[in-house]
Structure 1
Amino acid sequence: MMSLPIPAVTIGLLLASNIFMTFAWYGHLKYKAAPLFIVILASWGIAFFEYLLQVPANRIGYGHFSAAQLKTIQEVISLSVFAIFSWAYLGEKITWQHGIGFALICLGAWFVFHDWS
């Protein structure tokens, strides 16, 4: 049986987990009339599935990636998912300031992954 490479599995799980977490944290913003208690319970329910993916992603990826690299991958994925979510789901515009900020974060990620030795 052929298995997927560790980076592909790790990144795939992190991508899926971030989709769940983005909906858990921000999906309720379209439903301002919903009672806060219900929103919190729904968010916890959605976040449960995020944890089912995030924890294995880190467990599988650690060793191939350092902890700092795993966190960096997670943050870049998180911002990518959020940018798409805020545009497609919340109807917010993505501005040039967002683009520059994201580019700077990606530059930071490059520094984390660059081998200086």
Structure 2
Amino acid sequence: MSPLVERALPVVLLLGSNVFMTFAWYGHLKYKASPLLVVILASWGIAFFEYALQVPANRWGSAVYSAPQLKGMQEVITLVVFAVFSTSYLGQSLKWNHWAGFALIAVAAWLIFMD
């Protein structure tokens, strides 16, 4: 595997994983009339695909990134995916304080990557 693919593949897998995770955790908010048990089972089904991407992302990513770096990267990816999801799927715009909080988390992730 080339060094570029080795570094990029975990990021791509984490991105895909977080799309599934976000739908599993928050997608049901558009269907509040659905029975909770149905929502839980559907979320578990969606989460399977999250794990199917997350586990290899961390396994293969650990060859080039430390565990804290993988976690920091995952948090930033989660926030980006959630921001898009919140505005486009749920129709809930983010306010300045949300962006400020997300920015602080991004700075924390950046610090993790510093030597």
SS in 1 for 2:71: helix
- The superposition leaves residues 28-61 of structure 1 with CA deviations (integer Å, 9 ceiling, x where unpaired) of 0000000001001100000000010000000000
Calculate the TM-score normalised by the size of structure 1: 0.93
**What is the alpha-carbon distance in structure 2 between the residues aligned to residue 12 and residue 28 of structure 1?**
25
Report the alpha carbon displacement of residue 77 of structure 1 after superposing the two structures with TM. 0.3
**Which residue of structure 2 aligns with residue 66 of structure 1?**
66
Percent of counterpart pairs with the same letter? 64
How many equivalent residue pairs? Answer: 115
**Which residue of structure 2 aligns with residue 53 of structure 1?**
53
Report the alpha carbon displacement of residue 3 of structure 1 after superposing the two structures with TM. 8.2
Moved over 4 A (4+): 1-4
**What is the alpha-carbon distance in structure 2 between the residues aligned to residue 72 and residue 35 of structure 1?**
35
Return closer, same or farther for 1:94/1:27 CA change in 2, 3 Å cut-off: same
Calculate the TM-score normalised by the size of structure 2: 0.95
Residues 23-102 of structure 1: matches in 2 within 5 Å?
23-102=23-102
Return closer, same or farther for 1:2/1:61 CA change in 2, 3 Å cut-off: closer
**Which residue of structure 2 aligns with residue 7 of structure 1?**
7
**Which residue of structure 1 aligns with residue 103 of structure 2?**
103
Report the alpha carbon displacement of residue 63 of structure 1 after superposing the two structures with TM. 2.6
Task: Give the gaps of 5 or more residues in structure 2.
Answer: none
Report the alpha carbon displacement of residue 6 of structure 1 after superposing the two structures with TM. 1.4
- The superposition leaves residues 48-99 of structure 1 with CA deviations (integer Å, 9 ceiling, x where unpaired) of 0001000000000003100000000111101110111011010001111111
SS in 2 for 1:5: helix
**What is the alpha-carbon distance in structure 2 between the residues aligned to residue 105 and residue 44 of structure 1?**
27
Quote the RMSD (CA, aligned, Å).
1.5
